[in-house]
Amino acid sequence: MTTDRATATERESVDVVLGSPDSGWSGGARASSDFHIARGGFHQAQQNRNMLLPALLALQSSAGWISPGGLNYVSERLGVPPAEAYGVASFYALLSTELRPPRALYVCDDIACAQIGAEQLISDVESFVLGDPEAIVIRSPCLGQCDKAPAVFLQTAGGEDAAVAPADLSIVRQAVIGNFPSTVHPSDTFGNGPSFLLHRVGEIDPTSIAAYRATGGYKALPVALEAGPESVVAEIKASRIRGRGGAAFPMGFKWEAVAGADDPERYVVCNADESEPGTFKDRVLLEGDPFSIIEAMTIAGFAVSASKGFVYIRGEYPLAISRIEAAVAQAEESGLLGDNVYGSDFSFRIQVRSGAGAYICGEETALFNSIEGFRGEPRNKPPFPTQSGLFGKPTAINNVETLANVSQIVLQGGEKFTSIGTAESTGTKLFCLSGAVEKPGVYEVEFGMTLGELLEIAGGAKGEIAAILLGGAAGSFIGLDAVDLPLTFEDTQAAGLSLGSGVIMPFLVGVDFEAVVQRIASFFRDESCGQCVPCRVGTVRQEEALHRIASGRNPDTLNEEFVLLDDLDRVMRDASICGLGQTAGTAVQSAIGLGLIGGSS
Amino acid sequence: MSKTHLELPSSLIEIEIDGSVVTAPKGSTILEACRGAGAEQPTLCYLENLTPVNTCRVCVVEVVGSRALVPACSRPIEPNMEISTDSERVRHSRRMVFDLLESSVDLSLVDDSTRSWMERYRIDSPSDDDSTEPSGERVDRVKSYHVSHPVLPATVAQPVKIEDDLYIRDYAKCILCYKCVEACGPDAQNTFAIAVGGRGFESRITTEFDVVLPDSACVYCGNCIGVCPTGALMFKSEFDLRAAGRWDESSQTVTTTVCSYCGVGCNLELTVQDNEIVKVTSPLDHDVTSGHLCIKGRFGYQHVQNR
Ligand SMILES: Cc1cc2nc3c(=O)[nH]c(=O)nc-3n(C[C@H](O)[C@H](O)[C@H](O)COP(=O)(O)O)c2cc1C
Ligand code: SF4
Ligand code: SF4
Ligand code: SF4
Ligand code: FES
Ligand code: FES
């Protein structure tokens, strides 16, 4: 351990999160009794470890970096070895283990923003902060604001984090000195029929529980409490709803497995890490209808007999975090969360956790590790989360959008829910339209609508479409011949595609697809946790090959590069630990298949 | 683990490995079952005395019903599992994993067994002998890097860390198998001086803020050296001899003895060259040490050589 000490500011910021130290053994002032009694020990350290990431985030936010002194203080407070705490801190993009200027401007240069002026914005912002020792510009992967591209995320030492979109130089200038645009531009939401998920978004005050209740909120919870856990699980099963986070796993089976687990200690987790490039639907729900997620989690907790839930929200969503935190607080005040929910003997608490810049932490087991205070490295499956999830306990983890359906299923019954959508894809689905569409935003439509129909509702493309990215960076490019594809789990699967997180991003003729595909490849290289060889090295080799293709144009070696890319895709798909590596070559392969790259232009 | 199991032998279950039905104790891993059936598998991040981390992926096998390949070293067997250890997919993945490692890490000091696995799956194996060389079917295989091309492949090449007289850390040879971190942490030493830092290809084994070892929590037990499969962690004595071109395994002897410092009874294996102790290890399957020692047994041998 280095001998560096934390500054008073650093200590205070950590104490806000951890409370004051109770003895010299945990970083406090030494009392004479501390020389006689040892406090702490392994078990306490184990219990405290899950506060590591919140404490590191507090350090980052107060000091602008994770200093050696600050890290030492956190280590002492929590009993986490400094090397391990450093291993965790250096994992996350929003934590800096090097001293840097107090203001960090993360400018998105990912695939949606890149089409809408990201490079111009980056060079504008760079020349604006040039010579300013107080600020630094950092290129960022997708910030989840793609419909309002280009986007910027601001991290200020001693200040609040903020997302700004759409951003231009004058807005960024103002934001840097603390003047945020007076009119925030929430995402536009659209639909073509009855809306179950978006009906409150933009319509009610998301900070008011009264407004939520006045629009049908908290009607489902008492119904669930009255019906009992088994029948809630039965209704969810009957609805045949499948997960909206990417894997499309039936929610009812998950809940049933957790409800029937041997271990009485269980958890409910809401996965709000939403970092798949092109995705912003969960943010819209969290910001626009936070109570619906809290109510759904409470019902989930009741159904699986859990007493604790966690919401893990990506760190780049400060507004979503504060809205959800406020919602939790109001629900507690109103007796709808905490001890004896709604006067019943069911007690349930929710903790809100912020991510710190890591796409991989959306993978469910990496998310557990992240909450537990370890590096966000996925675990090998099996065991599955329903058997051994958060803190090694049976855990029901669901995506924000999946949870947003719960109240309606409880209220109308699972059977009724199946009347919407198709046989295998019940209900409505949120799609994130961005890129070259006339009306970007979040669309709620019934499963079964075709891609072409949805594009039409979105006002069509801004020009002639060359290809559409379906499902996000982990998804595939498809050609215009796919416009008749019904947007369902079964139809996309049959076509060898995936709905993923609901991304639909059209690209126009004339777009430099080599640049787009390289950006996707570098996204995976950056976001790989680095644990397993196929993904850690494979994503690097993939990116290198794409660079060579883009720069070389040597027809003799082009075939070799394609063979290599195919080999890399295969080994990443077959031998990687988690879905990140397994899909890291998918978009690249689809682009090659469509002839979007490697041409002789 | 080498610990004696006190329970009765657990019940046996039947599985199929490469077409033959074999039985193995319930709770074994695929790797253990394969070994029991005489089918060795390559491993890099696996070690009997450490918790499997299944990160290297050279041991992957194909299991019917599983979409992706599964790591043999950590997946427990289930009744009637059908396992292929030599299918085209398995060979392809293993070849690629070795290739990705070889192209990014200095593997010059891996053990003979790993080397022969690499040979077996190697990319440029003579195609005229493909009846015996199951190295992958494609004729148009290419390495994951093109040395002739101006864009050189990224590697983990970096200077050796020489920070004391006891051992060196040459992370240009590090495959990130996590073994040293496990040995330093909960699996043996509980010192937690080193951890994995960074992310992705930038991941590395590090102390806090990369401080030099003498400033870290390291107590110089050398257990990390004992488990490192690539020679990235090495006795300074061995490192110096190698640097001088005088490391000569053929002239070395290994003497097993019991450490005389305390009463625990750790077995020591003294590797001796030219009448000098050049390295100290302990057998992995030793009841007392499981291969792990403390600083005294590991490095405290100078008095033996005070002549
Ligand atoms: C690399 C990676 C990133 C992921 N990111 C998210 C995410 O941000 N949000 C999410 O809900 N699911 C994400 N998932 C899927 C989760 O692992 C998990 O399947 C999901 O949270 C389950 O919820 P659901 O059944 O409601 O879809 C990700 C998976 C992978 C492999
Ligand atoms: S596939 Fe990639 S992200 Fe997933 S565990 Fe392996 S290295 Fe980490
Ligand atoms: S010598 Fe021992 S204490 Fe030091 S890093 Fe290696 S295992 Fe850890
Ligand atoms: S230093 Fe050796 S033991 Fe440690 S991770 Fe690297 S290769 Fe493995
Ligand atoms: S916010 Fe820039 S691509 Fe999504
Ligand atoms: S030995 Fe099995 S994954 Fe490394």
One-character DSSP codes across A470-497: ESSTTSEEE-GGGTT-B-SHHHHHHTT-
Q: Is the pLDDT of residue B88 over 70?
A: yes
What residue spans in chain B does CATH classification 3.30.70.20 cover? 161-305
Which ligand sits closest to the CA of B218?
Answer: 3
Residue B125 and residue A336: Cα distance in Å, rounded?
A: 68
Question: CA nearest A546 in B: which residue?
Answer: B151
Ligand 6 centroid to residue B58 C-alpha, Å: 6
What values do phi and psi take at A477, rounded to 5? -80, 135
Q: Is the pLDDT of residue A601 over 50?
A: no
pLDDT band at B126 (very low <50, low <70, confident <90, very high): very low
CB A438 within 8 A of CB A459: yes
Report the pLDDT value the prediction gives residue A75, as an integer from 0 to 100. Answer: 97
Closest partner CB to A71 (pick from B142, B200, B208): B208
Residue B270 and residue A217: Cα distance in Å, rounded?
A: 73
Ligand 4 centroid to residue B201 C-alpha, Å: 15
Q: Hey, which CATH number is domain B9-127, 1.10.1200.10, 3.40.190.10, 3.40.50.620, 3.10.20.740?
A: 3.10.20.740
Phi-psi category of residue A167: left, alpha or beta, with phi > 0 → left and psi -120 to 50 → alpha: beta
Question: CA nearest A582 in B: which residue?
Answer: B68
Report the pLDDT value the prediction gives residue B127, as an integer from 0 to 100. Answer: 40
Q: What is the pLDDT of residues A82-111, one digit of tens each?
A: 999 999 999 999 999 999 999 999 999 999
B141 CA to centre of own chain: 27
Q: Is the pLDDT of residue B134 over 60?
A: no
Q: What is the pLDDT of residues B237-262, one digit of tens each?
A: 999 999 999 999 999 999 999 999 99
CA–CA distances in Å: residue B243 to residues A339, A363, A492, B237, B305 = 68, 45, 59, 10, 22
- Which range among A124-133, B28-37, B116-125, B134-143 has the greatest average pLDDT? B28-37
Mean pLDDT of chain A, nearest integer: 94
| Contact between chains at B199 and A530 (C-beta distance less than 8 A) | yes
CA–CA distances in Å: residue A362 to residues A12, A309, B203 = 30, 16, 19
Q: Is the pLDDT of residue A329 over 80?
A: yes
Report the pLDDT value the prediction gives residue A184, as an integer from 0 to 100. Answer: 55
Q: Is the pLDDT of residue A521 over 60?
A: yes
Ligand 3 centroid to residue B224 C-alpha, Å: 6
Smallest CA-to-CA distance from B272 within B223, B234, B238 is with B238
Q: Is the pLDDT of residue B69 over 80?
A: yes
Residue A528 and residue A543: Cα distance in Å, rounded?
A: 13
A153 CA to centre of own chain: 15
| Contact between chains at B93 and A539 (C-beta distance less than 8 A) | no
Which ligand sits closest to the CA of A575?
Answer: 2
- CA dihedral of A211, A212, A216, A221, whole degrees rounded to 10: -140
Q: Is the pLDDT of residue A183 over 60?
A: no
CB B26 within 8 A of CB B12: yes
Report the pLDDT value the prediction gives residue B3, as an integer from 0 to 100. Answer: 54
Q: How many Cα atoms sit within 13 Å of A420 on the Cβ side?
A: 21
What residue spans in chain B does CATH classification 3.10.20.740 cover? 9-127
Which residues have C-beta atoms less than 6 Å from ligand 5? A 108, 110-113, 142-146, 149, 151, 277
> Which residues contact residue B301 at a Cβ distance below 8 angstroms, ignoring those fewer than 6 apart?
B270, B277, B280
Structure tokens at B179: 């073994």
Residue A112 and residue A450: Cα distance in Å, rounded?
A: 22
Rg (C-alpha) for chain B, rounded Å, is 21
| Contact between chains at B153 and A71 (C-beta distance less than 8 A) | no
Angle at A270 between CA A265 and CA A276, to 5 degrees: 140
DSSP code at position A160: -
Q: Which CATH class name applies to B161-305?
A: alpha beta
B151 CA to centre of own chain: 31
Report the pLDDT value the prediction gives residue A2, as an integer from 0 to 100. Answer: 78
| Contact between chains at A560 and B142 (C-beta distance less than 8 A) | yes
- The residue written with tokens 């005395």 in the block is B49
Range of lowest pLDDT (A168-177, A269-278, B40-49, B101-110):
A168-177
Smallest CA-to-CA distance from B72 within B54, B97, B94, B89 is with B54
- Is B70's C-beta closer than 6 angstroms to any atom of ligand 6? no
Rg (C-alpha) for chain A, rounded Å, is 24
Q: What is the pLDDT of residues A109-167, one digit of tens each?
A: 999 999 999 999 999 999 998 889 999 999 999 999 999 999 999 999 999 999 999 99
Report the pLDDT value the prediction gives residue B128, as an integer from 0 to 100. Answer: 36
Report the pLDDT value the prediction gives residue A187, as an integer from 0 to 100. Answer: 83
Q: Is the pLDDT of residue B5 over 90?
A: no
Tell me which of B188 and A2 has the higher pLDDT: B188
Strand ranges (DSSP E) for A476-570?
Answer: 476-478, 503-508
| Contact between chains at B144 and A526 (C-beta distance less than 8 A) | no
Q: Is A202 exposed, middle or buried (0-12, 13-18, 19+ CB in 10 A)?
A: middle
Report the pLDDT value the prediction gives residue B9, as an integer from 0 to 100. Answer: 57
Residue A318 and residue A161: Cα distance in Å, rounded?
A: 6
Ligand 6 centroid to residue B304 C-alpha, Å: 39
> Which residues contact residue A524 at a Cβ distance below 8 angstroms, ignoring those fewer than 6 apart?
A473, A535, A539, A542, A543, A580, A584
Closest partner CB to B196 (pick from A1, A375, A568): A375
